[in-house]
Amino acid sequence: MTGGIGSADFDFDFDFDFDFDFDFSTGASSSGRSGVFRPIGVSPALATVPDHNGVMEDWYHGYKWPPADFASQWINAQPTVFPPKYWDGKLFALTILSEFVRVTDTATGNTLWDQFHNELAAFLPANAAAFDKELKEVVTLIEYRSGVMAEALAQRTNPWAWFRGILMCNSKSAPLTHQLVTIANVVGQFVVMHYKMDFKRARPSQYSPALLPPIEVPGHASFPSGHATEAYLIALILAAVMPAAASAPSPLTTGPAPDNPPPPNPGRSPLQQMAARIARNREVLGLHFPSDSKAGRQLAIRIFDILQQCPSIPGLITQAKDEWKSPAY
């Protein structure tokens, strides 16, 4: 798992979920797969045995693995399939990516995920005046860095931590929900990198030395924002499984919508508000233009539409919903 995806300072959209038991002395996690090392040597037998003259030996014979007297019996446990719950989350997400890239338009037969160039291009500033206004806004945001710095830095690699705080959960209490978030990360990263290479937009700090980002600028183009794409995609996929409280509008925010409400205009729900916050923090750091964030938001909507057409996703969503069916919710 884990905005501006893929730089050398670990500043990327893949979600690193540190929500597990981790032994930093051994590098082992509760999954049993992180940092595990199983050397097999020659172990002493449990008892000494007599030699060929019937005299008890004063040393223990060594046991290999498998033990020679049992090896013929321990050969076939009759498995059926690889256990689904043992899949590594990010590698399983790659299997969904293979479904995602094959979803096609029923009318034309064209793949869907790489057809959004014109739609995203509409978010770019239309002229020099619009660009100047956007750049001035990013410079104005510098004064807000001190108030949001710790939050913005932590959100670089683990936005999942903020979303799972909206309604208490973690990768143990809601493993399938977390798997869907991991899928959002992997698929979102793949698609956003395609369009970053497509547009090749320079970063704000390339235009204005005044910005001086407090962290290294990620090693990929600016448009669309990877953090915005990931955050809004996570919000959409969580809204599909979490209780209504996570995606319902707040009664305190039912007035006029802001100039730029997060589509699909959910009434400023907690999930969408968190996505907007994560995206905006990247602008405060001087790493993105507001139009990068808007395009990332729109791309997330399109990605989610395609994900729902992947063969495996509807079933995963249904199973993830069951994780939230308890008296507490």
* Kind and range of the H or E run holding 28: strand 28-29
In this prediction, residue 33 has a pLDDT band, given cuts at 50, 70 and 90, of: low
Distances in Å between the Cα of 186 and the Cα atoms of 90, 275, 284 are 7, 17, 25
pLDDT of residue 177: 95
Q: Mean of the per-residue pLDDT values for the chain?
A: 85
Burial call 59-69: b when 16+ CB within 10 Å, e when fewer: eeeeeeeeeee
Sign of the dihedral defined by the CA atoms of residues 221, 209, 149, 10, in that order: positive
Q: What residues does each domain of the chain span?
A: 137-322
pLDDT of residue 263: 46
Tokens standing for 251?
A: 């009664």
Tens digit of pLDDT for each residue in 56-103?
Answer: 999 998 888 887 777 677 778 888 898 888 899 999 999 999 999 999
Tens digit of pLDDT for each residue in 285-299?
Answer: 999 999 999 999 999
Tens digit of pLDDT for each residue in 196-226?
Answer: 999 999 999 999 999 999 999 999 999 999 9
pLDDT of residue 72: 75
Under 8 Å between Cβ of 290 and 87:
no
pLDDT of residue 34: 56
Rounded mean pLDDT of 184-206?
A: 97
pLDDT of residue 114: 96
pLDDT of residue 328: 54
Tokens 């602008």 sit at which residue?
A: 283
pLDDT of residue 259: 52
Distances in Å between the Cα of 11 and the Cα atoms of 2, 148, 227 are 9, 17, 10
pLDDT of residue 85: 86
pLDDT of residue 266: 44
pLDDT exceeds 70 at position 251: no
Under 8 Å between Cβ of 322 and 259:
no
Tens digit of pLDDT for each residue in 254-312?
Answer: 444 445 544 444 457 899 999 999 999 999 999 999 999 999 999 999 999 999 999 99
pTM: 0.81
Nearest to 245 by CA among 152, 169, 154, 303: 169
Q: Which listed CATH number (1.10.760.10, 1.20.144.10, 2.60.40.10, 3.30.365.10) goes with 137-322?
A: 1.20.144.10
Rounded mean pLDDT of 239-259?
A: 69
Rounded mean pLDDT of 119-145?
A: 97
Q: Give percent of the chain above pLDDT 90.
A: 64
Write the DSSP assignment of 185-219 as a string of letters.
HHHHHHHHHHHHHHH-PPPHHHH-GGG--SSPPPS
pLDDT of residue 21: 40
pLDDT exceeds 80 at position 127: yes
* Kind and range of the H or E run holding 226: helix 226-239
